[in-house]
A and B are shown apart, each in its own frame.
Chain A
């Protein structure tokens, strides 16, 4: 336990800002997961690995001399097709099955992706340089890397664009209809197969954006996908499916929680605290549900 954060008020500001900026990025990944979970009833264990793959696309551009920030445009386009292909190859065979089968299938995809990335990009940890500099507040006592601000901003822009798209466009409406009731949508002429493929593609594209942002804010490595999966899973559990503002808020909440856990419990418990919170939330939800069930009986 370390209470330094309460003694130095500026640390509190720093932690909050770091947490919120990071949380928005998590929320973007989580929104993709919520979308596809809601529409297809699939929990995608490979979510984090799609993120990392997106990051490697931006990193490859960086190696080729293109500024990695362009990755937030190129990476989602490529990742959309990766997601679409994944759907056609694997997911369409498990989409109507039980949840357990799809978890196994995506778990398998995650392993294959990790090994492929390791094979193609190597096991070295890599970073892409944005050269964006730093914003300093309160006489240098709080520093915010501009790359983090940039990533939070881009995440917000994409998230809002997506919400509008889901509301206004034809495909967006079809996706929402399928999420509500796939059979009814089918009867009314929605090509659910296409909707599923598009949803999986959109999710992968969101991961691609997040990955590109991670390549300039954090580090990339073929085997660091899982923590992103867990975080988005948790955000979705707290926020529920298909509710973007809730996802954004619970994303930021998670970011804050992580930062404060880091300061107070120690860095070694940062990821551990996330897992603990997950367990706590699951137990709490179950407890609440069982109460409701009793009442229904």
Chain B
């Protein structure tokens, strides 16, 4: 009797196991739902940008679903996203990617926030041959590993501030410049640094200060004192929001005069809001700005996106949200062109993507990075106490002229 009972239990559990694995392998498309998965930082140090990313995804999902969904094989499907909180922790993100793929049976992934986390997830999606469109991992090293299932809608990190060096050289009458730079020691910022090194080599410019900032750092007085002593033509700082805020605080307090200041993450740091006039003339790299003239039929243009996003979430969309929304437009386009849910067909369709979205043109290079969209530079300009980000490069979209050199502190009111 006992033996029979045991056998029975074994049989039942075997059956449930088989069934569960069978259901999960169909879970990619349930009924008229295309299920996408994403591990995203809802808690931990990246949580604010994680939420921007999630809002961007959600906004696009709603919009696409409302406007007829995704048409595959004559049937209309809707997007749905399964989110897990990765706690801003790369290990956790990799585990969650496994879970999304193996347990939830997700066959298409959206990227997490930050290069570090994307780096943790990419080997997993690659192993299971899951196409992932990511919008927030710009590190160059993501695109040199030969990943076949990774597609990024954004420009790689090394392009962020290269343009700024070109601008500096141009303003210097085409002659090489002296560069001082301080970069945080993380994948993203170090890639921005590589871009600067390339630009310096190309233009024959010299790097006279090359500091690396530890991630716990909130004091860069030493770097700035060196800048004061050596008088470079351009100071480049990249260390996420903390780097941007610390730099402006201490540059203004120590009255560091430098003709040009180029940074990243000004948007996320709400630089002009937190530091007001002290942040004026800072030059910032951005993936997107609402004034760009790109268009698509879902969001219209940048300004319309900005308006709709504000209405829905109550704040102006940072570029992290815009690029995340663009990721879903790419997926929709690829599904429709593949006209199938076969992963490899979708992957090939992604590979062949060549489209315009409100966020910019998207076309993937051999490593999966977006090669069709230039980075833009904006400069913080103030009128009275109100400061705004004005696009100054590339010239095609420039709303204002690039102000150079930055006036000395003694001449600034």
| A residues with CB within 8 A of B | 2, 4, 8, 10-11, 14-15, 18, 22, 115, 118-119, 122-127, 129, 134, 136, 140-141, 143, 145, 147, 218-219, 221-224, 226-227, 259, 262-263, 266-272
Let me know if B274 and A267 touch, CB within 8 A: no
Let me know if A136 and B255 touch, CB within 8 A: yes
What's the nearest-Cβ distance from chain B to residue A75, in Å? 18
Q: Mark B39-50, 1 if CB is under 8 A from A, else 0.
A: 000011111110
Which residues of A have CB within 8 Å of B276? 129
Count: A-B pairs, CB below 8 Å: 116
Let me know if B43 and A124 touch, CB within 8 A: no
What's the nearest-Cβ distance from chain A to residue B217, in Å? 7
Query: Which of A11, A22, A124 lies at the interface centre, i.e. has the most chain B CB atoms within 10 A of its CB?
Result: A124
Given contacts A22-B219, A268-B213, A272-B214, contact A219 B242 (CB under 8 A): yes
Let me know if A263 and B253 touch, CB within 8 A: no
Q: How far is it, in angstroms, between the C-alpha of A2 and the C-alpha of B227 when the chains are bound?
A: 13
Q: Which of chain B's residues 214-242 have a Cβ closer than 8 Å to chain A?
A: 214, 216-223, 225-226, 228-230, 240-242
Let me know if A127 and B249 touch, CB within 8 A: yes
Taking a contact as CB atoms closer than 8 A, the residue among B49, B225, B242, B268 that contacts A221 in the complex is B242
Q: How far is it, in angstroms, between the C-alpha of A262 and the C-alpha of B224 when the chains are bound?
A: 11
Which residues of A have CB within 8 Å of B249? 127, 218-219
Q: A223-B44, A271-B214 are in contact. List 19 more A-B contacts (CB 8 A).
A: A8-B229, A10-B229, A18-B222, A118-B44, A118-B45, A118-B47, A122-B47, A123-B46, A134-B255, A140-B255, A145-B254, A219-B218, A221-B242, A262-B223, A266-B212, A267-B211, A267-B223, A268-B185, A270-B222
> Is there a chain A Cβ closer than 8 Å to B269's Cβ?
yes
Which residues of B have CB within 8 Å of A222? 45
| B residues with CB within 8 A of A | 43-49, 88, 182, 185, 211-214, 216-223, 225-226, 228-230, 240-242, 245-246, 249-250, 253-255, 268-270, 274-276
Which residues of B have CB within 8 Å of A10? 229
Given contacts A223-B45, A263-B222, contact A270 B229 (CB under 8 A): no
Given contacts A15-B225, A129-B275, A267-B222, contact A134 B214 (CB under 8 A): no
Which residues of A have CB within 8 Å of B216? 224, 226-227, 271
What's the nearest-Cβ distance from chain A to residue B57, in Å? 18
Given contacts A4-B230, A127-B249, A219-B249, contact A267 B225 (CB under 8 A): no
Let me know if B217 and A125 touch, CB within 8 A: no
Q: How far is it, in angstroms, between the C-alpha of A18 and the C-alpha of B240 when the chains are bound?
A: 24
Let me know if B211 and A266 touch, CB within 8 A: yes
Let me know if B245 and A127 touch, CB within 8 A: yes
Q: How far is it, in angstroms, between the C-alpha of A159 and the C-alpha of B220 when the chains are bound?
A: 27
Chain B minimum-CB-distance residue to A21? B221
Let me know if A218 and B219 touch, CB within 8 A: yes
Which residues of A have CB within 8 Å of B269? 124-125
Which residues of A have CB within 8 Å of B217? 267, 270-271
Which residues of A have CB within 8 Å of B250? 145
The 9 A-B pairs of least Cβ separation, nearest first, read A268-B212, A145-B253, A262-B222, A123-B47, A143-B254, A267-B211, A125-B242, A219-B218, A218-B218
Which residues of A have CB within 8 Å of B274? 126-127, 129
Which residues of B have CB within 8 Å of A141? 228-229
What's the nearest-Cβ distance from chain B to residue A152, in Å? 14
Let me know if B245 and A11 touch, CB within 8 A: no
Q: How far is it, in angstroms, between the C-alpha of A4 and the C-alpha of B222 when the chains are bound?
A: 11
Q: How far is it, in angstroms, between the C-alpha of A115 and the C-alpha of B41 when the chains are bound?
A: 13
Q: List 6 A-B contacts (CB under 8 A).
A: A8-B229, A11-B225, A123-B47, A124-B48, A267-B222, A270-B214
Let me know if A218 and B246 touch, CB within 8 A: yes
What's the nearest-Cβ distance from chain A to residue B179, in Å? 16
Let me know if A267 and B47 touch, CB within 8 A: no
What's the nearest-Cβ distance from chain A to residue B129, in Å? 33
Chain A minimum-CB-distance residue to B221? A18
Q: How far is it, in angstroms, between the C-alpha of A221 and the C-alpha of B244 when the chains are bound?
A: 13
Q: How far is it, in angstroms, between the C-alpha of A135 and the C-alpha of B123 when the chains are bound?
A: 53
What's the nearest-Cβ distance from chain B to residue A4, in Å? 6
What's the nearest-Cβ distance from chain A to residue B270, in Å? 7
Let me know if B255 and A143 touch, CB within 8 A: yes
Let me know if A122 and B43 touch, CB within 8 A: no
Let me know if A125 and B229 touch, CB within 8 A: no
Chain A minimum-CB-distance residue to B228? A141
Chain A minimum-CB-distance residue to B185? A268
Which residues of A have CB within 8 Å of B254? 134, 143, 145
Q: How far is it, in angstroms, between the C-alpha of A15 and the C-alpha of B224 when the chains are bound?
A: 11
